[in-house]
Amino acid sequence: MRKALTRRQTLRTAAGAIATASLAAPAIAQARRKIVMTYGVQTIDGSSESFFASIPLGLGFYADEGLDVEIQAMAGAGTADNVLAAGQAQFATHGSAGLFGAVGHGVPMKAFICQVPDNFASVGVLKSSQIQSFEQLKGKTIGISAVNGAPALQVKAVIRRLGWNLDTDVQMIAVGTSLPALDALRRGRVDALMLWDAIFALFEFNGAEFRYFHPDPFDQIGFTHASYTLNATIEKEPELVAKMSRAFAKSLVIMASAPQPELARLHFKVFPASKPAGLSDAEIMKLDKMRYDARSSFMRFKQRIFDRTEQIGDERDERIAALRDMLFQGGEIPKALPIPDYFTRQFLPVMNSIDVPALIAQGRALKVT
């Protein structure tokens, strides 16, 4: 049985990582600013999420900026954004469909970095299923991670674009992101799962074989995981956002360049409660590699980190617009606003002024003990 990392465990392990760093420099640690960042998923499972979690915590990138960052894992992007809007957090990170929904309903927030540009969400059915296309899911049941999660917003938009009635033509059930979701599929409680790369990697590790669907316009949209803050924070505390931007950018370079087994070791060192129970060390490392490989294939590391043909943290307007328009045409947001209402490029110079070659060298030399 795989052991999930609960929100309480996430807070404890993140705090523990900071406490460990504090032993080395107590005077500096006392001066660090406490920051809360919400994550729109209930678990932080492995190195596939290291770009905002274990790398900046474990390698001290947040601490280097004078920040004591606490990550709060939550059930869905909507919940994460509600906490941000209520002033109980300074930042949020999750799938970008949630941003469009929040802004569309009046939350004054926007993204300042796009960390995963390509669309990593899929609809999956078991290969043994009679369902051969997304259109054959009419009249069926789809399992989603959370009712207000970003993947749910995407699939509902597609369903409405097809002219289906969400109340009568398809049923959606929240099944979470761990093995009970796979069990629901295998037992026929749901006919398909609308989830994302690292979760499907877990299920494949556990022996499931899938047929994946990417209904139009899934393959055209980008800007699929980003980090956000309130507009007031950008206006009043731009240096705070710049600090988070630098920490995120450095973490992306390390994630792209470090040996994957070392990233796995770093993750389990920072988040020990996320280590799956009942698996051998070799199996744990194999699962984490599957998760990492699934996620990294959508992160455009070659263009952003190694070739430098794209800026770290950026995304093209047309790919942002494609996601916005899908959600608007599918009735998930009330209107299609201009791109600057969702994403600011104000902090791209900060992110792209870091010493990328030196960080690549640091990543390649990473050894976790």
pLDDT of the chain along its 369 residues, tens only? 333 334 334 443 444 443 333 333 344 446 899 999 999 988 899 999 999 999 999 999 999 999 999 999 998 899 999 999 999 999 999 999 899 999 999 999 999 999 999 999 899 999 999 999 999 999 999 999 888 777 888 899 889 889 999 999 999 999 998 899 999 999 999 999 999 999 999 999 999 999 999 998 888 889 999 999 999 999 999 999 999 999 999 999 999 999 999 999 999 999 999 999 899 999 999 999 999 999 999 999 999 999 999 999 999 999 999 999 988 988 889 999 999 999 999 999 999 999 999 999 999 999 999
The percent of residues in the chain predicted with pLDDT above 90, rounded, is 78
Q: What is the pLDDT of residue 177?
A: 86
Q: What is the pLDDT of residue 30?
A: 60
Q: Which helix (H) or strand (E) holds 93?
A: strand 91-95
- The backbone region for 5, taken as left when phi is positive above 0, alpha when psi lies in -120 to 50, beta otherwise, is beta
Task: Give 368's contacts (C-beta < 8 A, 6+ positions apart).
Answer: 58, 262, 265, 266, 269
Task: Give 211's contacts (C-beta < 8 A, 6+ positions apart).
Answer: 124, 125, 126, 127, 129, 131, 132
Walk me through the domains of the chain, giving residue ranges and CATH numbers: 7-118+222-364 (3.40.190.10), 121-213 (3.40.190.10)
Read off the pLDDT of residues 210-229 as tens digits, 9 standing for 90 and up. Answer: 999 999 888 888 999 999 99
Q: What is the pLDDT of residue 31?
A: 86
Strand ordering across the sheet containing 109-118:
67-73, 33-39, 91-95, 222-230, 109-118
Q: What is the pLDDT of residue 9?
A: 40
Q: What is the pLDDT of residue 6?
A: 40
**What's the pTM?**
0.86
Integer Cα distance of 266 and 243 in angstroms: 22
Q: What is the pLDDT of residue 153?
A: 85
